[in-house]
């Protein structure tokens, strides 16, 4: 474990406030393979993951801004596959656990506006490894669109949340929905209902007020916003419906998590 903490090519960090654990693995310039020492560092992290508590794993590869797009997409994809191979060797099932392996290509920057260009480029030569832990919210509630879902299950993603009184998507929510789109493109059999929720509304009311429209349809508007966003990303409207649930189903884990949408699986 001393090697893991000391090796300067890797920065490992946990987002303990979320259900996701995110690890960043940095690569040398124009390389997608790892040295034996680098492999050992990644392996020691993998050994610390309790596979029984993992819902799914997502792997995203990136490159710096040098070179053409085609080359960098190929290089970033190879970097992602390098980490995938280590996970499979460690016992993570490639079919049921690892649900996304994607090369994102180069991270574009304006070289003349970056203060430390060398450091910025080195940080962009990386793979982000996202470990999604199993939900602790009860039976039939998942943290990802994994292969284990069945009709009637709900998928709740902690990063798709809304500000108080708002039905507008935050930047973080859009990034999370983009990941959902990538999964839905691969798993075209999944049909679902988008369910919007609200917090902080007295029980005498069935829904909250959307501060932009002034209507008491906040949960409906949140669900519709997600529906429209997914549709704009070419997810077929025939696979989706939406509805507002108001304040009927609080999670009991704080107001922020009640300002959410869930995906109810309706067909597989």
Output the domain CATH number for residue 179.
3.30.1330.60
Domain end point (choices 108, 133, 158): 133
- Which of 244, 165, 247, 245 has the alpha carbon at shortest distance from 201? 247
> Same domain for 223 and 123?
no
> Same domain for 91 and 151?
no
Domain end point (choices 88, 110, 133): 133
- Alpha-carbon distance of 42 to 48, in angstroms, equals 10
Q: How many domains does the chain have?
A: 2
Average pLDDT over residues 163-185: 90
> Same domain for 49 and 128?
yes
Task: Render pLDDT for 61-81 as a digit per residue (tens, 0 to 9).
Answer: 999 999 899 999 999 999 999
- Alpha-carbon distance of 180 to 173, in angstroms, equals 11
Domain end point (choices 100, 116, 133): 133
> Same domain for 233 and 263?
yes
E runs forming strands in the chain: 10-12, 20-26, 54-63, 98-106, 126-133, 141-142, 154-161, 191-196, 240-244, 260-267
CB 140 within 8 A of CB 152: yes
Domain that holds residue 155: 141-267
Q: Which residue has the higher pLDDT, 203 or 196?
A: 196
> Same domain for 120 and 170?
no
pLDDT given at position 227: 96
**Sign (positive/negative) of CA torsion 201, 203, 207, 213?**
negative
> Same domain for 147 and 115?
no
Question: In this prediction, what percent of the chain has a pLDDT beyond 90?
Answer: 32
> Same domain for 95 and 197?
no
> Same domain for 186 and 87?
no
pLDDT given at position 194: 95
- Alpha-carbon distance of 131 to 133, in angstroms, equals 6
- Alpha-carbon distance of 136 to 251, in angstroms, equals 11
**What pTM was computed for the model?**
0.58
Q: Which of 46-60, 137-151, 165-179, 200-214 is the most confident on average?
A: 165-179
> Same domain for 160 and 84?
no
């Amino acid at each position: 474990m001393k090697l893991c903490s000391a090796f300067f090519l890797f920065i490992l960090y946990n987002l303990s406030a979320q259900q996701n654990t995110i690890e960043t693995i940095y690569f040398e310039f124009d390389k997608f393979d790892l040295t034996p020492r680098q492999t050992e560092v990644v392996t020691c992290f993998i050994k610390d993951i309790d596979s029984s508590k993992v819902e799914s794993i997502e792997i995203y590869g990136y490159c710096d801004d040098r070179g053409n797009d085609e080359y960098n997409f190929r290089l970033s994809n190879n970097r992602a596959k390098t980490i995938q191979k280590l996970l499979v060797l460690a016992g993570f099932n490639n079919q049921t656990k690892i649900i996304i392996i994607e090369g994102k290509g180069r991270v574009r920057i304006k070289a003349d506006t970056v203060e430390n260009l060398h450091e910025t480029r080195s940080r962009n030569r990386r793979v982000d490894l996202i470990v999604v832990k199993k939900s602790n919210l009860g039976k039939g509630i998942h943290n990802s669109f994994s292969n284990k879902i069945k009709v009637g299950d709900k998928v709740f993603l902690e990063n798709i949340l809304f500000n108080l009184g708002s039905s507008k998507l935050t930047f973080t929510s859009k990034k999370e929905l983009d990941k959902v789109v990538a999964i839905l493109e691969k798993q075209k059999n999944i049909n679902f209902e988008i369910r919007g929720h609200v917090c902080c509304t007295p029980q005498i009311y069935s829904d909250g007020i959307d501060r932009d429209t002034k209507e008491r349809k906040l949960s409906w508007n949140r669900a519709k916003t997600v529906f429209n966003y997914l549709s704009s990303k070419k997810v077929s409207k025939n696979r989706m419906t939406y509805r507002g649930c108001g304040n009927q189903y609080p999670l009991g884990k704080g107001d922020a998590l009640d300002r959410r949408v869930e995906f109810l699986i309706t067909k597989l």
